[in-house]
Chains A and B, each alone.
Chain A
Amino acid sequence: MLKKFCVENFKNFKDKITFDLGSPSNYGFNSEIIRNGCVTKGIIYGVNSCGKSNLGLAIFDIIVHLTEKQKIMQGYDSYLNLDGRKSFAEFEYVFGFDGHEVVYKYKKKDVNTILYESLSIDEKEVIYYDFVSREGFTSLAGSDTLNASIKNESPISRVKYVNNNSILVDNTENQVFKQFINFVERMLLFYSLDSRGYEGFMNGSEGIAEGIINSGKVDDFQKFLAENGIVYDLYAVDEDGRKVIYCRFQNEDASFFRIVSAGTRSLAVFYYWYIKMKAASFVFIDEFDAFYHYELSENLEKRLKKIEGVQIFTTTHNTNLMSNDILRPDCHFILGDNKIKAISQRTEKELRQAHNLQKMYKAGAFDGC
């Protein structure tokens, strides 16, 4: 689980911003959202251009140099803060795995150039490398032979290098290291628009229809749409070597993606990832309900809430979701003024389940602190 994330001098985050998921409050409701002391579901609100999308890109920056998964490289143009005093961006991730803590810190000049990285397991630094002075070490059992070769000109992350090139001894420290790598490999960021792509979790550009058909989920997709008030009779066809979903009509059948509305198209994108995200570790859905009626957004949030063991965060402008019936005050986050805080931390008032959070938000109750 990701417990804490900090970033500084990256895009619009000039000063250090901390996204703390490891300090939940003691609410007696919706307690299934908190696992091992970590917030596992959250909704991020904030005015336009406060940095919601940039926060997603910042968290998923780790994907770029630690994995071979899909990347949204164009998202990392204008990498450093344009007013910043430093010539690098700084990242810090704190993870928790079965009571063990992993802290991964690094500095980057641009999306592809690491200047420094450090990995600690239970407060012991196990991998360190300074890419400027070309000094560093690894102390993970089984990776000692890499210490000579680690001091070279290669710009590759030493964490990735150790993972790919060493046969690590089976001990607790290395198991935690593997858990960390496994977590990062399964992180997924996606947008509600097909054209904007995704980052992490897998590779390639599988079509939405193709993905649903390949998973054998056309009937389930039809059921999913119907549960959300959209009724179509769907079937899969092979059209010039491409897998396509068709809708049955009285006079003439038609290709699903040619006839559906922007909202339904976006819902199909959501469904495509929804059936995959149970295997993910950390999911970030940017502007997930930009095309949805408020009831549909609520239904989808409630669905996401039921996915166990996966941390899922969505960004939205829909304050209808700011309700204790969906999440809790420590899971609704407001991003603004280079800070991201749960609404429970944005007021001194003791919030109860009975509170109408949306009404309070609109009245400015969470503008302080």
Chain B
Amino acid sequence: MAAKDYKAFIIEGEAREPLIINNISKVFFAHAKFKIITLPAGQNIYMLWKKLKEDNFETDIIEVLRENNKDLEEQLDGIGRDDFSEVYLFFDYDGHQDYIQYTESINPGEIRKMEACEIQKNRVFVLSAFPEFLLDYFGIKLWKKCVRHMNNQLEKRGCRNKG
């Protein structure tokens, strides 16, 4: 009788992000009892945020996506707002976009400054929400998960130290 458990990953990119999520699912959630459903945020995730804010956060995000994107009707057919136990929004920072029109709480100028600083030091600046999500989800258990995954990989390749 219990509904199936779903977790929604709301993302901007429709090409690369689903692949990353697919890989994360394979590594970290292969035996999970829930299903991850990846949903496109639409134009960009800041606009979605703005819409939710305009609704005074009295709307359900899944239904806001559904009402703004007819393509989701098929993907979400038979799945209701209450079937999702968690919803994760993955914000992308794109330097070329002007975010100030969407939100004042995120300061793109500062991120740009950090990025420039890292480039000057010949280091790659990585800003991704996915590792943050994993850390948030698993907490300290993330490291155990990583070690177990690495062990599995080594075992598969036959180079695990059996002693």
Q: Note all chain B residues with C-beta closer than 8 A to A228.
A: 1
A352 shortest CB reach to chain B, Å:
7
Evaluate contact between B63 and A354: CB separation under 8 angstroms. yes
Within 8 A of B (CB), among A17-51: none
Q: Which of B9-17, B36-44, B54-62, B113-121 contacts A (4 or more CB under 8 A)?
A: B54-62
A21 shortest CB reach to chain B, Å:
26
Q: How large is the interface on B (under 10, 10 to 19, 20 to 34, 35 or more residues)?
A: 10 to 19
Contact of A354 among B1, B2, B59, B80 (CB under 8 A): B59
A60 shortest CB reach to chain B, Å:
33
Q: Is the interface of A mostly helix, strand, loop or mixed?
A: loop
Evaluate contact between A353 and B55: CB separation under 8 angstroms. no
Q: Note all chain B residues with C-beta closer than 8 A to A325.
A: 80-82
Evaluate contact between A356 and B1: CB separation under 8 angstroms. no
B143 shortest CB reach to chain A, Å:
36
Q: Note all chain B residues with C-beta closer than 8 A to A352.
A: 59, 67
Determine whether A229 belongs to the interface, using a CB cutoff of 8 Å to chain B.
yes
Q: Note all chain B residues with C-beta closer than 8 A to A355.
A: 55, 58-60, 63
Determine whether B7 belongs to the interface, using a CB cutoff of 8 Å to chain A.
no
Question: Given known contacts A229-B1, A365-B58, is B82 in contact with A354 (CB within 8 Å)?
Answer: no
Within 8 A of A (CB), among B54-86: 55, 58-60, 63-64, 66-67, 80-82
Determine whether A360 belongs to the interface, using a CB cutoff of 8 Å to chain B.
yes
Contact of B1 among A295, A324, A365 (CB under 8 A): A295
Contact of A359 among B3, B58, B67 (CB under 8 A): B58
For A326, give the chain B residue with the smallest CB separation: B80
Within 8 A of B (CB), among A354-369: 354-356, 359-360, 363, 365
Within 8 A of B (CB), among A234-282: none
A353 to B63, CA, bound (A): 7
Q: Note all chain B residues with C-beta closer than 8 A to A229.
A: 1
For B80, give the chain A residue with the smallest CB separation: A325
Q: Note all chain A residues with C-beta closer than 8 A to B3.
A: 295
Evaluate contact between B1 and A353: CB separation under 8 angstroms. no
Evaluate contact between A360 and B58: CB separation under 8 angstroms. yes
A296 to B3, CA, bound (A): 12
B82 shortest CB reach to chain A, Å:
7
For B51, give the chain A residue with the smallest CB separation: A354
A54 shortest CB reach to chain B, Å:
32
Flag B1-31 by CB within 8 Å of A: 1 or 0 each. Answer: 1110000000000000000000000000000
Q: Note all chain B residues with C-beta closer than 8 A to A296.
A: 1
Q: Note all chain A residues with C-beta closer than 8 A to B64.
A: 354
Question: Given known contacts A228-B1, A229-B1, A325-B81, is B67 in contact with A353 (CB within 8 Å)?
Answer: yes
Q: Note all chain B residues with C-beta closer than 8 A to A360.
A: 58
For A293, give the chain B residue with the smallest CB separation: B1
Evaluate contact between B58 and A356: CB separation under 8 angstroms. yes
Flag B139-154 by CB within 8 Å of A: 1 or 0 each. Answer: 0000000000000000
A350 shortest CB reach to chain B, Å:
10
- B residues sitting closer than 8 Å to A (CB atoms) are 1-3, 55, 58-60, 63-64, 66-67, 80-82
> Which 4 residue pairs spanning A and B have beta carbons closest together?
A354-B63, A229-B1, A354-B59, A354-B64
- A residues sitting closer than 8 Å to B (CB atoms) are 228-229, 295-296, 299, 323-325, 352-356, 359-360, 363, 365
Q: Can you report 21 residue pairs joining A to B where beta carbons are below 8 Å apart?
A: A295-B1, A295-B3, A299-B1, A323-B82, A324-B63, A325-B80, A325-B81, A352-B59, A354-B63, A354-B64, A354-B66, A355-B55, A355-B58, A355-B60, A355-B63, A356-B58, A356-B59, A359-B58, A360-B58, A363-B58, A365-B58
8 new A-B pairs (CB below 8 Å) besides A352-B67, A356-B59? A352-B59, A354-B63, A354-B64, A355-B59, A356-B60, A359-B58, A360-B58, A365-B58
